[in-house]
Structure 1
Amino acid sequence: MHEPSHDDTSAAAHSAAASDPDFPDTQPDPGLSPEARGAATPQLLKVEFTGSGSEYFRIWIVNLLLTIVTLTLYRPFAKARRLAYFHGNTLVGGQPLGFHGDPWKMLRGYLLMLVFAGAYGAASQFSPIGAMVAIGFFIVLWPALWRASLQFRLANTSWRGLRTGFTGSLGGAYYALLPGVLPSLGFIAFALMMQPEKGDPASAAPVAPPNGAMAVLGLSMLAMLLLMPLSLAWVKRYQHDHYRYAGEQTRLDTSVGSFYLLALKIFGVSLAVGIVGAIAAALVLLVFGGIGAATGQTGQMMLVGGVIAGLIGYGTYFVFTMPYAQSRLQNLVWGHTRSASLRCRSDLKMLPLGMLTLTNLLLVICTLGLYWPFAAIATARMRLSAVSVELDGDLSQWQTTAATGQADATGDAAGDFFGIDMGL
């Protein structure tokens, strides 16, 4: 639940949202008594982010130095400090979020991940087959680790004195990740088919792929492309169907088809941006080629033109394609997340996000990375300000009810024990 959420919604946006067919009419019945009418009026909670770049820079630079000095062992403590800062500066309805994760438990989870990485590295040194076995083992274990990460993050997040939670089952995690795992099995099969036979004197020389290997690779790539929207839909549904707070459990109220439609739109935008970027790059190369021919420095001018053309392509991706995908995905997922008594809305704009992303990129490059904390703060503020939360009924009343009968947190025990937090 660490995706950026909730913020400024004007009265005009509120009235426009009331006519949205995705949301029921929330206007109270004029025949109700004043007391009942007040109880039926939904509350609109603004989300504000109050963090500053200068404050976060001090946290970031200390975290970076200590992580380097301790050979990355300080990383869980750095993450705990970062999460505490971002949570504490995220205000929902004027009340800050809280993060209560124990960095020592997070260290335990981090060491577990290092063991997996070390096992893969050792296996790859002895045998490519061993490396494939290690990858396969990690794929099998990944859904359980992912679920534990969600449990840990949610169990250690609070608002107005109550902890949030995650109720997704272990079987549900495996089911949600299935469309993403299936193509990877094909890639593993292709890698195994490409291994030379033992004792082959020409094993070090390049050999033609065995029969069927390229077919397996092609089918795996095709399956990955076709299943990517389905995989994203199932992953987001597993996450957003199991967030819990004060007796409320959310659900993602949208179809798999909407993710495929979003994928088609992103592909269309990528294609259009790619064509425009290619034309611009070609014009730049043409101009610099002409300058080089006129000055007798064709090689140098073409090199400069190639660099500028590459920057144009890279810049158009950061200004248009990536912000379009990020903004539309956030609006789709958070705009359709709701429970019995709350509804989330998101209205993140592509162009402002794109210009901010490009500005952040240029400043990070110009400052050799030192602007990164300021970029992270600015991005968080924009993404959070695009989302709002609408609540029905008396918040304090259903909070009190939930506090007197706290939901069973046994399901979060595994994630809390291992302290696994993958930043999901």
Structure 2
Amino acid sequence: MKPLTSPEMGNPGAPVVAAQDSTYQTQQPDASHQLRVEFTGSGSEYFRIWIVNLLLLIVTLGIYYPWAKVRRLRYFYGNTVVDGEPLGFHANPVKLLKGYFLVGVLFSLYSAAGKFSATAGFLAFLIIAALWPALLKSSMQFRMANTSWRGLRFGFKGSLGGAYRAVLPLFVPGMVILAALTQVADPERPPSWYLKTLGVVFLAAFAVLPWLVWNLKQYQHNHYALASLQTTFKATLGSFYKLFFKIVGLALLPLLVSGGAVGAIIYAAKTGGMQGRPSIGLIMIASLAPLVVMMVLLVMIKPYATARLQDLVWTRTGNTSLRFLSRLHFRSLLWLTVKNWLLVVLTLGLYWPFASVALARMRLEAVTVKTRVSPDTLLSHSGAVEGDAAGEAGGDLFGLDIGF
């Protein structure tokens, strides 16, 4: 199964798979095993890796990135201990470099086509967009095939067709954009039409976001494998929309409260004999209030979404033979986030490795695994297909966290 890691790794996950093979259930029907997840890394150890990677990236103008990534992942994986055994990461940096080169060529061709003509650039973009699901599948295969536990390599069983179905929600705002482009050439269109079209595209993308995330999680968590075992994913689309609305509500509440407070202050000033002219102090309060609200949102929303999403995804991954339990508390994660950001700012970024390690430890150790399948039983089952390193590169360049 996919290892839980920090955002620094770009791949939060959990390190065991759900059994679908009924033979495991009949072999030990009454056995019960709890696989404890620990993270043994330290900020001081990772700081040395991080600073060396940073310096070599600068000296080599970024060429060292595949080696830096492998060193980083090997450290985090090697310090992720499941049932007393660490994970391993075995990717070859040279293969990653070839994958990044291939993806770089694709984007160079896209850039060149855009300079040639707008139509050519748009067609090149469509080609790259069409390749993205294949890169997603390949990236998952590559990452899992190069991850091991107790000498066994993990695998990813997702199909290419499943990858395209997973990104299907992206076509909804895409169709709106294509429909709008057919009308752009009309010179009689008023400027307000373009604003309305942009608003429709934004709303369409906003509305399908939970659907897209659910599709991606379902595609990933239904196909993680170890030996002959494979995960299942039981979270519903409705549960993702429910979480989405909670996050939106949490984001809107401070805006409504601050807007009401500012309005009340201005109203009180007007009715208090200021003859409709608020003081400079009130103007400053009214101006700073949105900034304060945005800071609160940045601090609160991500920890809340991260904690609730991790709990939802991993608690709903499993079957009758195995169950994941994730209890990542929002308050603890919020406090850690505030602490990390303050120390990163005060140290001018030098605390970043320590923050990454602290976050990885909290997220990993919030997960426990209960299974009726003995870990020793898995040792007789092995085999995984290594994916294409270009997929791993593509996942990074598209900026999508495909591992959680």
Bin for the TM-score computed over the shorter chain: 0.7 to 0.9
Residue in 2 aligned with 1:381?
Answer: 361
Residue in 1 aligned with 2:315?
Answer: 335
Residue in 2 aligned with 1:84?
Answer: 74
Long gaps (5+) in structure 2 = 4-10, 16-25, 268-273
Q: Deviations over 1:113-154 (max 9, x none)?
A: 222332233233333333322221221111001111111110
Higher relative contact order (CA 8 A, sep 6+): 2
Return the offset for 1:260: 1.1
Residue in 2 aligned with 1:139?
Answer: 129
Q: State the one-letter code of the partner of 1:250.
A: T
> Following superposition of structure 1 onto structure 2, how do residues 257-406 of structure 1 map, counting pairs within 5 Å?
257-278=238-259, 309=289, 312-339=292-319, 341-397=321-377, 399-402=378-381, 406=382
Q: Deviations over 1:87-137 (max 9, x none)?
A: 001111111110001111011111122223322332333333333222212
- The 3 A distance-change label for structure 1 pair 91 and 308 is farther
Return the offset for 1:309: 4.1
Matches of 2:133 and 2:314 in 1, distance apart? 23
Residue in 1 aligned with 2:19?
Answer: none
3-state SS in 1 of match to 2:370: strand
* Contact 1:5 1:385 (C-alpha < 8 Å) held by counterparts: no
Q: Deviations over 1:295-329 (max 9, x none)?
A: xxx88x79986886465223311332221111111
- The 3 A distance-change label for structure 1 pair 118 and 280 is farther
Residue in 2 aligned with 1:128?
Answer: 118
Q: State the one-letter code of the partner of 2:214.
A: A
Matches of 2:297 and 2:60 in 1, distance apart? 36
Q: CA RMSD in A?
A: 3.2
Task: State the TM-score, normalizing by the size of structure 2.
Answer: 0.81
* Contact 1:331 1:348 (C-alpha < 8 Å) held by counterparts: yes
Q: State the one-letter code of the partner of 1:152.
A: F
Matches of 1:192 and 1:384 in 2, distance apart? 49
Percent of residue pairs bearing the same amino acid type: 44
Q: State the one-letter code of the partner of 1:230.
A: W
* Contact 1:40 1:393 (C-alpha < 8 Å) held by counterparts: no
Tell which deviates more after alignment, 144-153 or 187-196.
187-196
Return the offset for 1:73: 1.3
- The 3 A distance-change label for structure 1 pair 341 and 182 is same
Q: State the one-letter code of the partner of 1:221.
A: F
Q: State the one-letter code of the partner of 1:346.
A: S
Long gaps (5+) in structure 1 = 8-35, 198-206, 287-292
Matches of 1:75 and 1:284 in 2, distance apart? 53
Residue in 1 aligned with 2:12?
Answer: 4
Matches of 1:359 and 1:285 in 2, distance apart? 35
- The 3 A distance-change label for structure 1 pair 95 and 306 is farther
User: 2:156 aligned with 1:160, yes or no?
Assistant: no
Task: State the TM-score, normalizing by the size of structure 1.
Answer: 0.78
3-state SS in 2 of match to 1:60: helix
Q: Deviations over 1:44-98 (max 9, x none)?
A: 1111111111111111111112112222111111111111000001111111110
